[in-house]
Amino acid sequence: MNKEEQILRTEYSEIMQKSYIDYAMSVIIARALPDVRDGLKPVQRRTLYDMNELGIRYDRPYRKCARIVGDTMGKYHPHGDTSIYEALVVMAQDFKKGLPLVDGHGNFGSIEGDGAAAMRYTEARLAKVTQEAFLSDLDKDVVDFVPNFDETEKEPSVLPVRIPNLLVNGSDGIAVGMATSIPPHNLGEVIDGVKAYMDNNQITTRELMHYIKGPDFPTGGIVINKDELEQIYETGQGKIKLRGRVSVEKVKGGRERLVISEIPYTMIGANIGKFLNDVYSLVETKKTTDIVDISNQSSKEGIRIVLELKKNADIEQLTNMLYKKTRLEDSFGVNMLAVANGRPETLGLKGIIEYFLDFQFEIATRKYRNLLSKELEKKEIQEGLMKACDVIDLIIEILRGSQNLKQAKSCLVDGITEGIRFKTKASEKAASKLRFTEKQASAILEMRLYKLIGLEIAALEQEHEKTLKNIASYEDILENHSSMSRVIKKELDQIKKAYAVPRKTTIENAKAAVYEEKKFEEMEVVFLMDRFGYCKCIDPQTYERNREAAESENKYVFRCMNTDRIAVFTHTGRLHLIKASDVPLGRFRDKGLPADNLCNYDSSGERMIYVDALSHVISSKLLFASKNGYLKVVSGEEFDVSKRTIAATKLMENDIMTGIFPLNGEKNIVLQTKNGVFIRFLTEEIPEKKKGAIGVRSIRLADQDSVEHLWLLTNPSEESIQYNDKTIPATRIKLSKRDTKGTKLRL
């Protein structure tokens, strides 16, 4: 072992704990949560900065998103390209962001959940508001720049955003052990709220809400718990209840239609399709009979979901049912968590505005210090040029008499005349008194002769006066808090005038939707299932009128209550249960629904061998018979379970169920195999077992043989069986013991 090497002994759990905490903090601070100052996550900030660096501005041509994503990933964000492109797409979607920050060109997805096209097909550029309110002051040293991941580039630690973007666009993200969910707000209202806070930093949340009424979702809709918003904005946590906007339209024939023109923000994406499916389900399950047609007529102009209603429909009851049974009324969970001073913090409305204004005063201070410094430098040079114009003949004499630039500059700055040829001693004496500054001397030496024109000198004097005014203005802004406040307010007003839009979401206190479901009426029905597995229920009177057709056209026919469950046993040994209330109740000639749609039955891999009402099954004993000749009797009570699917029996390898038969006092069992071997024995020889047992062997099968049919006989001397289209008296099959070889009959 080298002397330099050391073995450090430590507790493994401590290493794991430290590593996990480091990882968690990395996700929280560097990926998942927005910064309270600019309201951006790192990936969003880096993407916007990179677009600015690439020159993809609002007044320039679009560029391929693949170029933007690749450049951002290579320079600033060393993570997957998918996360960068998704962030870019969301910033361009006007149905997700109240103020889109990116101007997208191409397929950037839809409100109905369609994904954006691949990044190689789409193009983008910065939105005008992003250029003016997020990136315009980056060249004025208003924010700190930090090294990128490989220290080859510099990136801003925060963007100098001039609007409270965290409130305007909201944010959502899942970190480790915490998540953020901030709703979007109206830009004009937020700016008014910020100005009100600047006028009175002791303002209460309730008073702030005179300006910021509540969230303003890009999808519109209605917030129905107005009174709870104050508590949510005070604590930064709570639930906002949302409803879609529903209106009634008259159509020909005295009928009406419900039109949904705005949806809850939470319904964006796949939830629109889920809403439509939920409405279909309400119609199919007869929860409502008022809806006769549903159509989604949404387009680029906006959402339009139309529900055609039958004549004299109860619109209020139907609307309340939609609120209760679908996502037309939903909750938006608020958790206003953001990174503040380098750590995650849950903030109320006042807290977010306070951090934002602290940031605005910080960047304004840095901005005007930078501008003041430049104006003071400009003043120095202007004063030097003006002074030089007064002694221009002397300066020309110095330049003509100097041997090099350094000699001339030394004379202008320090009055050193040695080595310079002057025409007169008076000129030399005057030159020795010159005391220009370094910057003034450089400006004089670089000055062009046309600057000596009278008009140019007058313009220089005017520019000097303007510079003096700027210096006075900047010093006033830096020295007086009220002056800086006026500047910040002025900038906010300019942004509001240019980009504010009317509120889309209505804020109110709405009554809770009251919907009373019709009480379920218990009644007797007749269950019908055809050989294709389509099932339906009809009322007993209809059945009696069509008894012959019902029994000839259907494989399973039995009476049950609509509160019962239907037991479906399959050849794989599984039991599926269907609620009788889920089976459509209709006319005799209705097609019905396939069993696949009502339970976990898979018609492609399973075959039904016995179907009956569960109440009938529970009150009986069932004989289970398998292809390999195993039999058992099971009490029907074992199948009274709450699960929709269970294993009804246990099977040996390569065995399947041949049949399941209810026992009603039959004395004999007759088995017939595929090879034509018969066996008859007493039913009492089959023991009763649990459903998880395999059973007992009924016949000794020859190789490649299997049980094909089973008959239960009550009075063998008077009964017969069918085999190869021939009728065979049961007594012709000798009564023997179970588990023997059986007899092959000669026909």
By annotation, the residues acting in catalysis are 121
Give start and end residues of each alpha helix (H) in 300-348. Answer: 315-325
Structure tokens at 745: 């009959």
Give start and end residues of each alpha helix (H) in 501-638. Answer: 540-545, 547-553, 614-618
Cβ(191)–Cβ(495) below 8 Å: yes
Q: What is the distance between the terminal CA atoms of the chain, rounded to a whole angstrom?
A: 93
Count Cβ atoms below 10 Å from residue 445 Cβ, excluding itself.
15
Return the closest-CA partner of residue 603 out of 526, 530, 653.
530
Residues β-bridged to residue 171: 182
Structure tokens at 676: 């034509």
* Beta sheet of 743-744, edge-to-edge order: 707-713, 668-673, 677-682, 743-744
DSSP run (H or E) holding 394: helix 392-401
Give the 3-state secondary structure of residue 475. helix
DSSP run (H or E) holding 339: strand 337-340
Give the 3-state secondary structure of residue 99. coil
Tell me the angle at which helices 392-401 and 349-390 cross, rounded to the nearest 10 degrees. 80
Q: Beta strand 256-262 with 245-250: parallel, antiparallel or unpaired?
A: antiparallel
Structure tokens at 237: 């946590």
Count Cβ atoms below 10 Å from residue 61 Cβ, excluding itself.
10
C-alpha torsion 419→420→421→427, nearest 10? -130
Give start and end residues of each alpha helix (H) in 580-691. Answer: 614-618
Structure tokens at 116: 């954006």
Cβ(745)–Cβ(672) below 8 Å: no
Can you point out the beta strands (E) in 406-461? none
Query: For the chain, give me the number of helices (H) and strands (E)?
Result: 21, 35
Q: Which residue has the tokens 């100097």?
A: 402
Q: What is the largest CA-CA distance in the chain?
A: 157
574 vs 651: CA distance, rounded Å: 10
Return the closest-CA partner of residue 273 out of 388, 154, 113.
113
532 vs 250: CA distance, rounded Å: 43
Q: Who contacts 358 (Cβ-Cβ below 8 Å, separation ≥6)?
A: none
Q: Which residue has the tokens 């601070």?
A: 29
Tell me the angle at which helices 454-479 and 349-390 cross, rounded to the nearest 10 degrees. 150
Cβ(712)–Cβ(658) below 8 Å: no
DSSP conformational letter for 243: E
Angle at 328 between CA 327 and CA 329, to 5 degrees: 80
Query: b/e per residue, 331-354, with b = 16+ CB within 10 A?
Result: ebebbbbbbbeeebbebbbbbbbb
42 vs 33: CA distance, rounded Å: 8
Cβ(658)–Cβ(586) below 8 Å: no
Structure tokens at 191: 């700016």
401 vs 348: CA distance, rounded Å: 73
Structure tokens at 227: 């009174």
